[in-house]
Chains A and B, each alone.
Chain A
């Protein structure tokens, strides 16, 4: 019984094939990732597959997610792997989807309408879905949404102070993203801390190489998050600005002669760490550059960690002192210096890092990195969005009565 999980990033496509073992647990039998999808640059695109103990790496042209999906399915058919269901991560579920759904005609129709809500992500996911429909006819497909975990946001958190009729017309509200990751981390921390999910208060920082966001979780539910209507808002990111005065784009349109398309490109692809540093969108490049005296790299790192620190302090007050602060995803678990700078000077709200434990934390597993006297416990913990997608699928397929599940 195999579920293929496909996870579209802005410039990558990850996949995992889960097998339902006899004990009822899902195990990843095969996985891989297409890198640098649609990225122009000096380094070539490539796809990697891990099957058993074997790793297969192919450098090849991957101009779009459509091509990447075909490469994944080619690999699967070459190796005669049976696929019984396909699960997708769809970034923006809009107001239409608060839960995972099986793909059918009506759902397909709805997805078309959601494309403009996440212009970088949603069209890529849709093209991957279409490839799967063509090449795996008759295999059930389902969708999970990054916005679904935030369906619990209270009105005081999701409401913008904009005219009601305008908000209704364009569905303007805070949706929030990275929900699959927050769902995974919250459940994992509940079992790690031995506390019921429904009693857990957490701040989770999902720091990815592309997008980053932070979530305030009260009693197991998301009550506020840094991304907004789109994944542009909130923390500073690899190439995205994060929050800014809404009159800034207005000023740039009115006084500096920018077109809408130029601003869209500037804010989403040329800003953030890349724009400020001028050299890279990746903190793993910027920290050494800053260490070597590059002033712009230093400013980029300072801005990134400062804005993160302010949001942690903000959510600590909103939650009234959470049980734990968790750093997750690639940047969150791999770079101790980012965690250290983000937690600097937060003793006032009960957050004190253990410098040694932080530096020694292994990226691949949950590690406690808070000082013994830290009121809020601090963790570095990897996320697993694909496992959440597979679990959601298992639940969904059982509900609708697919016999083999």
Chain B
């Protein structure tokens, strides 16, 4: 299986086979965007495209692409224009050149398609709710995978707070396999900062900057490309930044603690928290610090994390704890493979 995922000014490819997960990226230059990946041929099992913002159009994380799918993706463009545009162009090229292969659209917002009304709405007059101005969430694959990987470990009623520790940390509250809250919003800018995305900012600031002469497109660039963790501690991966910069560590810790508290309250209680990350060893001091902050809920920690039979799952909590604290270690490629390689359909 070959998966294409848009970035900013580039796209990433993932070659997924049971015994070999490889990945790379391709820079985009002005002109037509073409599918590219090593060994790309008519022999692929299937091709899939990640859509960062599905704008309420896709209720399943994976959809087999039909001619109507292109029109639906076009309708999602305004929500997250730069990356959705790349996905659209990759799809057009792929459908033209590999028309015989089964092709999938993977929506990063689909897992949050059924947020309760009071969660999804902003406090705007209701006529705006129906115009698409609502919360869509994001990072569906990681949270859906985290639920699938841990739900059997949770005591009933299995309310999970899923925390994705990566360059753009974000959370989901999940129960019964359904996401009921997210730290992301109308776009993935809401919530905690990313490397270059601002995270939550008083909306009055947007209006102020606009009054000072900044056009909407310039404010978009500011909040999406020129803000975030890099403005606190310079360029680099978040792991590097918080290891060297105390302020980043404090902002991240306060942000995650608050978002956890909000998510657990949204669930009306919590049966488990799972931290999903790539470099478990380097994230562990941070994860411990978060768990120590939750000691008032009777969360106690084992001296050594207990590795489960699954291989990539660790149990942190002691037996006195009222909820489980778990760590999952996985790459994005592994998550894509686990979720989508086995999908049966057109082939």
Contact = CB atoms under 8 A, between A and B. Distances in A.
Interface stretch (A34-42, A82-90, A158-166, A396-404): A158-166
A162 B206 CA distance: 12
Interface centre among A236, A248, A349 (most CB of B within 10 A): A248
A159 B268 CA distance: 30
Interface stretch (A136-144, A222-230, A332-340): A222-230
Contact of B122 (A248, A348, A350): A248
Contacts of B126: 275-276, 278, 296, 299
Contacts of B123: 236-237, 240-242, 244, 271-273, 275-276, 303
B78 to A, nearest CB: 5
Given A253-B210, A255-B78, A303-B118, A228 B202 contact: yes
Contacts of A309: 265-266
B117 A247 contact: no
Contacts of B224: 247
B60 interface: no
Contact of A232 (B202, B222, B226): B202
Contacts of A133: none
Interface in B268-291: 268-270
B320 interface: no
A314 B254 CA distance: 9
Contacts of B260: 317
Contact of B247 (A155, A256, A273, A375): A155
Contact of B124 (A237, A275, A302, A375): A275
A309 B119 CA distance: 12
A264 B203 CA distance: 10
Nearest to A233: B202
B250 interface: yes
A267 B207 CA distance: 10
Size band of the B side of the interface?
35 or more
Contacts of A302: 117-118
B262 A229 contact: no
The majority secondary structure among interface residues of chain A is: helix
Size band of the A side of the interface?
35 or more
A348 B270 contact: yes
A234 to B, nearest CB: 9
A159 B223 contact: no
A52 interface: no
B125 A246 contact: no
Contacts of B226: 163
A352 B210 CA distance: 45
Contacts of A375: 296
Contacts of A170: 205, 208-209, 212
Nearest to A268: B204
A271 B124 contact: yes
Given A159-B232, A246-B200, A313 B264 contact: yes
A316 interface: yes
A248 B203 contact: yes
Nearest to B295: A320
Nearest to A237: B123
A260 B296 contact: no
B49 interface: no
Interface in B193-232: 193, 198-212, 216-217, 219-220, 222-224, 226-229, 231-232
A313 B251 CA distance: 18
Nearest to B252: A156
A256 B227 CA distance: 25
B322 interface: yes
21 contacts: A156-B251, A157-B254, A159-B251, A161-B201, A161-B231, A232-B204, A240-B123, A248-B122, A248-B185, A250-B219, A251-B133, A256-B131, A266-B124, A309-B266, A310-B265, A314-B261, A321-B296, A321-B297, A345-B267, A348-B268, A348-B270
Which 3 residue pairs of A and B lie closest in terms of their CB atoms, listed nearest first? A313-B265, A345-B268, A321-B296
Interface of A: 116, 154-157, 159-164, 166, 170, 172, 174, 224, 228-230, 232-233, 236-237, 240-256, 260, 263-264, 266-267, 270-273, 275-276, 278, 296, 299, 302-303, 306, 309-318, 320-321, 344-350, 375
Interface of B: 78-79, 117-119, 121-126, 131, 133, 135, 181, 185-187, 189-190, 193, 198-212, 216-217, 219-220, 222-224, 226-229, 231-232, 247, 250-251, 253-254, 257-262, 264-270, 293-297, 322-323
Given A244-B186, A299-B117, 12 more contacts: A156-B247, A224-B254, A233-B202, A245-B122, A246-B189, A248-B122, A248-B185, A249-B203, A270-B125, A275-B123, A318-B293, A345-B268
